[in-house]
Structure 1
Amino acid sequence: MAPRAGGEARETSGVTTGLLVSYVRERAGEAAVEETLRRAGVPFTAEELSEPSTWTSYDTRIRLFTAATEVLGDPDAMFPMGAEALRNGMNAAVVLLVRAMGTPRQVYARLPRAVANFSTTSTMQVLEAGATTATIRYQLHEGYVHSRLDCDYARGLISMVPTVFGLAPAQVVHEECESSGYEACVYHLSWDRRQRLPWRRRGATTAADPELAALRIQVRSLQSAATDLVDGVDLDTVLPRIVERAAAAVLAPAYLLAVSAPAGGAPLVHSAGLPDADVPGLTARLLAGEDLGPGAVVVDVRSARRTHGRLAALHRPGEGGLGDERAMLAAYAGHAAAALDLVMALEGSRLETRRAGALLDLAHGLAQAADVPSTCATVARALPSIVGCDNAAVMLWDPAAGALSTAATVGLPADRETVMRTTSLRAEEVPELLGMLSDREPRVLSPTGGSAPMRRLLTSLGVSDAVAVPLLAGSTFLGVVTASWSEGQSGGAVDADVLARLRGVGDQASTALQKARLLETVRHQATHDALTGLPNRVLFRERLATALAAVPDGSAVGVLFCDLDRFKAVNDTLGHAAGDELLRQVSARLRAAVRPGDTVGRLSGDEFAVLLPRLGGPADADSVVARVDEAFAEPFRLDGTPVDVGTSTGVAVRSGPVADVAAVAEQLLRDADAAMYRHKHRDRPPAPSPRQAT
């Protein structure tokens, strides 16, 4: 939402005011929020203050802080408000960027560049940043009156950085404060390096993982953004929304959007946070592809078929974000492009109410589609209404096999649908497909012409006319969408208008497929170890809980916990690259040693676990333990050097149905870990690894 107050200085990001609203609401309810806004005398609603794109003045921020402490009856409330930012709605994009940086030290070192994304009235300097300590200098700009409440909030906010990495909050020592007459506020921070076994924390759940929670929020935000944007029915509505929603993807003091007008002429421009006099010059440089400076994040607003224009998030010189904001803004720009595709199509087809409604339904369906199969099914279902065909299909390209296969189809009888789904079109056998791969142009097909394989397929489907349009992501061939008519039903239906509409659906489908694959990548990254490709702790715990919930009478579930012996020596003598290669080889041997249906996971560092979901009893785990031990019998070869590495192994087994799945899963992991620890710290005879049954 754009602020309704005229002349409000853009000095405080909506991230800050949104955290305040969330904190007060959680502590004292909606009435307390309204009372805080009333006492502060701000000309904004709680909803507006919660939008990242709503910037307010420093004075408004301090009035809100003051009013909140009064309403809550707690003069020290600003510190916990900052410290609990993760739990009270910290922007998901910020959490993901912070988490991607790897360590609190790296985050603190980058904070000065990112401060202007939250406030433009102060300067931050990092005086020292060590592995577990940092010293930060924070000074309010001249002309502003320092507030102890603002200082409390800043201290709380910087203390929560380690919590993004699953660590305890940083301890903050603050002996020099501007409110006490010092030239600047100086914060001395210290934090613990790491927590070895996060699941040991009482009450810990996968939902408490900040990164996983942020990923889920980000996925929902992407879906919500797509829905919100396509709800706009004209360019005057969509362009401001694109800029407003961009603030949720990348935090910055200013934004600029420029797109081509549907009928030509001057570009359509929308901006936020920029002086009016600066907009024309920046727009010309943006569309010309010129460098807008080191503080600019610029992406194309482009669908598979058309580049509409460019979108920029603008930071001040010398300032910027926390990490790779460009990837997040580019993902969002894809949704913006899809919205512009739709709106510009509607500009030229207002009289086609039914088909325009079908396009909107398709856009909503694509916004909700969470994976490739559901995206393809949504497109196939929409095509008959949009194109006016009898049957439709989406076929995806497999570059490894050099063939097209059906991902979704509608309108065919069951026997003919089976034919469609079981038919694979190979480029080497179908000239029409080979030609499409070459020129990326649609093909109009008929059972009376074309190649023999295509004639046979159309005849077996009972189709008299068909048209296939390629799905393209830039120059990458993704597949085709097809519209076809049953025998006697076409009536010369394949004309330029049909082709144009099918192309439009193809453009939306291409964008949606890219989005779906992006979401699948995000989900995969959230649940898999980047080095080995194994399930990480989050996914391993989920599969363990699923196995426990499904275990029948007379069966058991086991967890095998492995910790490498002499792994540190490999890192110290051969280097971390060799250590990484060792971990990859270990993961490969473990996967080869376990049974089909077992899950090998990497929990952390050199700790691996194996889920044994189908055991006849505790003794059945012994054979898996023996195979795991045998996997380490041969030396590993690292840079041509044979290296002997062993493993300490512990096993825990649970038999029969489980009532409290979460508690039992937690106990199994602890028991397997404890068994491994005992095994590691004793002389191991040539006998099977110890087992503990629960």
Structure 2
Amino acid sequence: MTGAHGEPGEQRGGGTGPAAEEARETSGATTGLVLSFVRAHAGEAGVEELLRRAGVPFSAAELSLPSTWTSYDTRIRLFTAATEVLGDPGVMFRVGAESLRAGLNASVVVLVRALGSPRQVYARLPRAVANFSTTSTMEVLDADATSATLRYRLHEGHVHSRLDCDYARGLITMVPTVFGLAPARVVHEECESDGHPACVYSLSWDRRSRLPWRRRAGTDPELAALRDQVRALQSAATDLVDGEDLGTVLPRIVERAAAAVLAPAYLLAVASPHGGAPLVHSAGLPAAEVPGLTARLLTGEDLGPGSVAVDVASARRTHGRLAALGRADGGLGDERAMLAAYAGHAAAALDLVMALETSRAEARRAGALLDLAHGLAQAAEAPAVADVVARALPSIVGCGSSGVLLWDPAGAVLRAAACDGLAPAQERVLRAADLRAADVPELFAMLTDREPRVLTARGSSAPMRELLTALDLTDVVALPLQAGATFLGVVTASWAAGQTADALDGEVLTRLRGVGDQASTALQKARLLETVRHQATHDALTGLPNRVLFRDRLVEALAASPAGGHVAVLFSDLDRFKAVNDGLGHAAGDELLRQVSARLRAAVRPGDTIGRLSGDEFAVLVPRLAGPGAADGVVARVAAAFGEPFRLDGIPVDVGTSTGVAVHSGVAADPHAVAERLLREADAAMYRTKHRDRPPAPEPRSAT
């Protein structure tokens, strides 16, 4: 299984595609040799036929990668198909025997040559077998300067194939050629395919080479391998540098590590450029084991027998660590030096990619700041300001999620107005939360000193801890928003587990303050605009909609009225209002108008609209009326509102009202024209009622 790059702090060890289901039992070094041999003898057409006959779920490119591990079954199917394509029953012996020329991993050749003699190589083969295959075990029965006896056994659960045995014999004979000697001679009389408990190979080789080309530099296997290894490292460096971002470079580092050291599994952990938990990529490891191994890798602990771990470090910085993990007790030689050389190239590539990531992050941040400024310039209302700020914060601050909570001074409560980066369920929790200073100590503290707070799930008060747990957040930076001495709300930058930046009270807080200053200014502007709009559409004395707003709502009600709907307009004029002004003064008259507006509010339904159109004239909009006759009930409730005297400066004053009604039924073809007609008709009806013969209203009387 091949891991996938994750976001900062995320650890992955799974994968997709054929490799996700394929058992990791055979190194790509083996399958690559088979493809290389078939290509050399039958061309690309032979390779295509090989894959068709084998029926394996891999491409030729995948099977040629040392990091691609396949099952034992896939290996045998490839061996069988190669025999059929080339028409040679002994082809697998030739693949092994000619591996030095057919593309054996250069690092393996260098390590083999460094051991000094065939005897040393054969002595270490059992320890290195697991780096090529996990389905067999090799042991040395005896060895001297020119001979050795090896025992090779397939593990239970697998059916032995003589082709696998042929390939192993070929590889064994090849070892002396690395030292410029003739191939080893192999006697193989006990084979597992014939029912023996294991395959036994008796080897012998010459102490010195009698080959005339041994000293020729052009044919020296070690020199050729060193050249190949240099080219491989150069190619790896170029390939890594070509990576556009960490999402492509990290998998490539693990993939190309197999060119340096063959192993069943690899693990890479590097520091995230955004802070927080390391970025982790793995191959050949169960996902459940990755977190524990990562922790041990970063602390320098032993990762198990045969494992090799090195720092991924350049002259500029140490990015993290890379490890090749295996079951064997060890490899052929100094694999650590090989892996370290490769890690140096990986570090250089990471230097470049990290610089690019930083540049991209700064570019994104600059773009987000421009978008923030543009969005705030266009946002005219507080909810729109909150939404613009919340959406900009993750890119500017580098947080996982964000929120803007606005203060309601009337209810003394802090409520979420906008958020970004939260799952729908968490967003619903945040929007439903009412934070009160009496219940949340952190809010009380911010109201008192107006200082930001770094909140953690563990170190917060019980109410805040419960909220952070419900939101699945571990860390929050909360910054008060204020205009002068006025507390406007709070802006938050938050992180889930594994996302947190290294220093929340440093650069994160500085960026948050910058956004908070802009947000405070925009919120203050929005409140001023809201006040201006309210003043332009509402009566300053009573707070009721004025004639302009009342007419607009009437047009909206008419436009929304269905075919069977009814909309009514009531006009009410106070009786003897002038007498109150003249007898008790204009202050008493103003108080009377305020009390009248309060009584009318209590007399109508929640969906109805009351407006003060002028002086002592009030209007009531009644949408969704049950029928034309139902307007009489509204008139009666309005009249009842004047049944009790009004108290003005401690004096009870009887004030009556004259009310006229106009009703429109059905759809309004032209809502604007119908609205004007209804207002005229209701006004006319009010005047008809007012001028009927009736006894004069009593003069204002004293309470005594």
Alignment TM-score, normalising by the size of structure 1? 0.49
Structure 1 or 2, whichever has the larger Rg, is 2
Alignment TM-score, normalising by the size of structure 2? 0.49
